[in-house]
Structure 1
Amino acid sequence: MCLGLVNNKRTKCNSIFIKSRSSSLSTKLKLPTNPYLKKFNPTYYVRDLHTSYPNNAVVPFLLADIGEGITECEVVQWFIQPGDNISEFDKICEVQSDKASVEITSRYTGVIKKLHYNVGEMAKVGNPIVDIETDSSNELESSLINSEVSPPSPSAQVQSINITEPLISGEKTHTLATPAVRRVAPAGKEAQPSKEIVEDKLVPLSFIQKSMFKTMSRSLKIPHFGYSDEYILDDIIASRNLINDYITRNNQFSFNKISFMPIFIKSFSVALKKFPILNACVIDDDDANTAKLKFRRSHNIGIAMDTPGGLVVPNIKNVQAKSIFEIASDIRRLQEAREKNAIPPNDFQEGTITLSNIGNIGGTSLSPVIVSSEVCIAAIGKLQKVPRFEDVKDEVTGQLVEKVVGKHVIPVSFSADHRVIDGATVARFSQEWKNLLENPILLSAELR
């Protein structure tokens, strides 16, 4: 059987005209009327019916606007296949832009009829991504209101009369996004081959790699000034051990122990108070005559995190007002979200300075790249116990003698925007931070 939409001029109502291909039997069913339909221009909604009772409808599910000005997304994975049953709010697919990864969920209950894209293909916002056969005429009306319906194919057998009142328009309508889980887009392992390369091949950049390409290209327009030093952490190690002993004796914390990172971040913020220019950003930097420095009161310190999909850099907000325990709690929350690849987008916004710690992976000599919205970045390398000379009091003579002792040392590297930051400023900041870490009593004295 075949179905077409017609308009009854006399009654001013919309109808469905049904004619059997195998007989002359025909009938009309009234469509649910809706004031929103009056603004549309004529078109058709055509489909084959499974039975003589027109209850089922194939609804094209459109890729809704996920925000951030995104016009297309890459299909990362499908959670369903043709023939699968699906319920409202079930996951359909995961799509990824250069800003976020999103799980698209269903607005309908029914059966999956068609997937419009394969994994890895680019899906356009506003276009169908999947067809769902629903079992309710309400779904049909909803689809007509919220979707742009494709015109019938030339082979469709439709019996209809002239439509004098507009029913459906080519005017674009806005579909509200269905419930989705906004997730952080990992920093780009998509184009990396997972198996051994047996022949040369060209692979286009993924969305994330394109984003990295643009971001790093902007960053490398900044003249970088580099500075490196070593910090001795023996005293801070002893202090951290005391803190962790305290944590194990109390049940008020959501974590069993802290790493060095909360201490690094808090001491970094304390030192930053004396060098606010390192927390600033350059505005209108195309011309020195119009360029300005924006000094920012919040210390939103970005931390680089390795995820299953690549490197991401969320930030901890208002570090200057938080305790070491509060910072540790924030890091734990981000780590838990990282394991699910689900760090909220808000955690990536409004960063003011970055502190990258790759010591758990390795490396001693680092050259971090400045984010274009910041003027400074610091990177911490691997903690090592190394021999160092030290003046030690001789137990027999009581005199100071030089001896070789083992010290726990971390390498620290800085990059700063040399257009507005001079080398002396970075060196003085490093000495301030170093003094706090090598003398924890001074750090505790600075805490509020």
Structure 2
Amino acid sequence: MFLRRVCRGASGPSRQLIVVEGGSRQTGSHLPTAAVAVRSRHRLAPAPATANLWFSSQLRPRFHSRHFHSSGRLAVVKPVVLADIGEGIVECEIIQWFVEPGARVEEFSPLCEVQSDKASVEITSRFAGVVKKLHYEAGEMAKVGKPFVDIDLPDDVAAGVPEETPTPPSAPGAAPAAASEAVEATTRDAASEPPKVSTPIKQKFTGSSLATPAVRHLCKELQIDISQVHGSGKDGRVTKEDLYRHVEESKTGGAAREKNVPVATAAMTSSPFGAATIDAEDAVQQESAVPLGGTQLQMFKAMTRSLNIPHFLYADEIDFTQLYSLRQRVNEILARDTKKATAAGNVTAAPAVAKLSYMPFVIKAMSMALHQYPVLNARVEVPADASGKPSLVYRSQHNVGVAMDTPTGLIVPVIKNVNARSVMSIASELVRLQNLAKTGKLAPADLQGGTITVSNIGNVGGTYLSPVIVEREVAILGMGRVRTVPAFADDADEGTGAAAQRIIKRHVCHFSFSADHRVVDGATLARAVEVIRELVEKPDTMIVSLR
């Protein structure tokens, strides 16, 4: 390859061509004079000694070998933020980690287990990569919307991932140098310390143990270090029996450890009837402070915020007598169909629900009342700016939250789009949520989007209650247990017109509605409850009115 350049000067008006052959590349310096020759029109002559020519650094020799090389991978560390796992939840407790820094994770691999005021939820990874940093330790409170883990992503994955957290701006002059240093440091780390290739598994790491919030609360009451307790449950989960066994082993292995066992527990003696009794002479009033944690801590914060809403209570008694008879007939049909399907060996033909409770009928009746009084399905939007006006946001779907008592505490899963469901569909979804709640397998989507709530204390045995409104809702219904009571029935005598009173048996239930008095008045709620009463006391009306 030749480089030609027109040269004007010593030779006058004639033009000469500078021809460069061979030689080596010398960036920013003069080429050797021996490598330069002057070509005239007819001959090739050596260049004069004074012809020192400056060539740009882009000059390449004719025979220059080019070697292929590759640069180090540009690591992209992605801070993953904790997504909203429930309506109104702003923080949650890290129960345990399933990964450690340096572990490789795949998409949808479990990262950690968190505890909110509603349920225990597993957080999975949205990306495949290598865990670089854990922002929280087990037992700490993680903020929703803040980074909780950093994952090193491959280049091809990072290119399509949107930014979740803004990067702090830096000085203009220092930006290229800082970026270069960061890339070089990351490249050096990647070259010197290759990432550990490991699959995240559910195992105990330092500072965490598998246990439900109820077990952790009992552990704090007994003042036991849960990491010292051997779990006999699934995947090494610590149970209440493990805690009691640990206390007994501590007693039999030596003197009772006062720092681990409260004085009240140490003073308890065995009764000949198998129950524990307290020696009256040794019984001394003791007080021990136990920090709130897990479900209790989240419930404490949520209810504190809820009680800032001005409530008012409206209570009434509903006659379930006709609904009681309808439910009995329907359950007989369901039991018969289930028996037939089981005998035929066709399990898929069996009804999805083996037995109906009162709850699906009440939920459907309440949804039908919301069509007439949509304000009860709305939410209050208060602007952050004090000068702005609050607004009432109406919602088209009736998403009914159902409070449930589970081994891990009170949770409120949501039955979505009740206005488009039948009574059997509501019952089927209710059974599904109850089964998931008992095993702690509820997904975050099952706990979000509630517009109104029903709390049935009657399952436990209570008759009356005053429920507390859930945030972002304006009403909640509390149900007591269904009771059998005597009542008077007026039967008119067609012949004489005289009324003969007689005592009959009635099935009644106490309803308690709490509403947000900022947007709902007592008359509106009373009229809505009357619609529910008409549908529940006369279920035939409900059936013919179904959409």
TM-score, scaled to structure 2: 0.54
Structure 1 residue ranges without an equivalent (≥5): 1-31, 41-61, 109-114, 129-162
Counterpart check, 1:193 vs 2:218: yes
1:330 aligns with 2:429: yes
Return the letter of the residue paired with 1:273.
H
> What's 2:500 paired with?
401
The answer for the alignment partner of 1:217 in structure 2 is 304
- Alignment of 1:416 onto 2:503: no
Give the counterpart letter for 1:101 in structure 2: S
396, 411, 414: which one pairs with 1:297?
Answer: 396
Aligned to 1:266: 364
1:229 maps to 316
Deviations 1:296-350 (A, max 9, x none): 1111111101111101111111111110111111111101111211111112212
8 Å contact 1:104–1:179 — kept in the other structure? no
Structure 2 unaligned spans of 5+: 1-69, 129-133, 151-179, 191-198, 203-210, 223-261, 264-285, 338-348
- For 1:386 and 1:281, the matched residues in 2 are separated by 38
Alignment equivalent of 2:450, drawn from 330, 333, 351: 351
Q: 1:168 — aligned with what? A: 185
Counterpart code for 1:279: N
Q: What is the match of residue 238 of structure 1? A: 325
Aligned-pair identity in percent equals 44
Q: Distance in 1 between matches of 2:397 and 2:212?
A: 26
**Equivalent in 467, 470, 479 of residue 371 of structure 1:** 470
Give the SS at the match of 1:408: strand
2:529 is the alignment partner of 1:430: yes
Structure with the higher fraction of residues in strand conformation: 1
The residue number in structure 1 matching 2:120 is 101
Partner residue in 1 for 2:73: 35
Q: Answer yes or no: is the 8 Å Cα contact 1:191–1:204 preserved in 2.
A: no
Instruction: Quote the offset at 1:396 in angstroms.
Output: 10
- Pairwise CA distance, 1:386: 1.3
SS of the equivalent of 2:501 reads strand
Counterpart secondary structure, 1:359:
helix
Superposition deviation, residue 445 in structure 1? 1.7
State the 1:400 CA deviation: 2.5
Q: Is the 8 A contact 2:74 2:183 kept in 1?
A: no
| Alpha-carbon distance in structure 2 between the residues aligned to 1:427 and 1:413 | 11
SS in 1 for 2:534: helix
For normalisation by structure 1, the TM-score amounts to 0.64
> Which residue of 351, 367, 373 maps to 1:253?
351
Among 391, 404, 411, the alignment partner of 1:312 is 411
> Greater relative contact order: 1 or 2 (C-alpha under 8 angstroms, separation 6 or more)?
1
SS at match of 2:523: helix
Q: Could you tell me how far 1:222 is from its partner in structure 2? A: 1.4
Structure 2 vs 1, CA of residues 279 and 96 (structure 1 numbering), >3 Å: closer, same or farther? closer
Match of 2:378 among 255, 280, 287: 280
Deviation of 1:403 after TM superposition, in Å, equals 2.5
CA deviations on 1:269-305 (whole Å, 9 max, x unpaired) are 1122111111111112676971211111111111101
Map of 1:145 onto structure 2: none
Q: Which has the higher helix share?
A: 2
Secondary structure of the residue aligned to 1:35 is coil
1:121 positional shift: 5.8
**Alpha-carbon deviation of 1:443?**
0.8
The amino acid of 2:185's aligned partner reads I
Query: Is the CA contact 2:96–2:112 (under 8 Å) kept in the aligned structure 1?
Result: yes
Give distance in 1, aligned partners of 2:526 and 2:124.
52
Counterparts of 2:201 and 2:429 in 1: how far apart (Å)?
Answer: 24
Q: Indicate how the Cα distance of structure 1 residues 208 and 63 shifts in structure 2: closer, same or farther if over 3 A, else same.
A: farther
The alpha carbon displacement at 1:412 in A equals 0.5
Equivalents in 2 of 1:118, 1:66: separation in Å?
A: 14
Distance 1:374 1:166 in 2: 49
Code of the aligned partner of 1:76: I
**Distance between the aligned counterparts of 2:503 and 2:483, measured in 1?**
16
AA of the residue aligned to 1:200: E
Give me the whole-angstrom Cα distance separating, in 1, the residues matched to 2:136 and 2:393. Answer: 45
Specify the code of the residue in structure 2 equivalent to 1:430. Answer: V
Cα distance, 1:346–1:103 mapped onto 2, change above 3 Å: closer
SS in 2 for 1:36: coil
The change in CA–CA distance for 1:393 and 1:77 in structure 2 (over 3 A counts) is farther
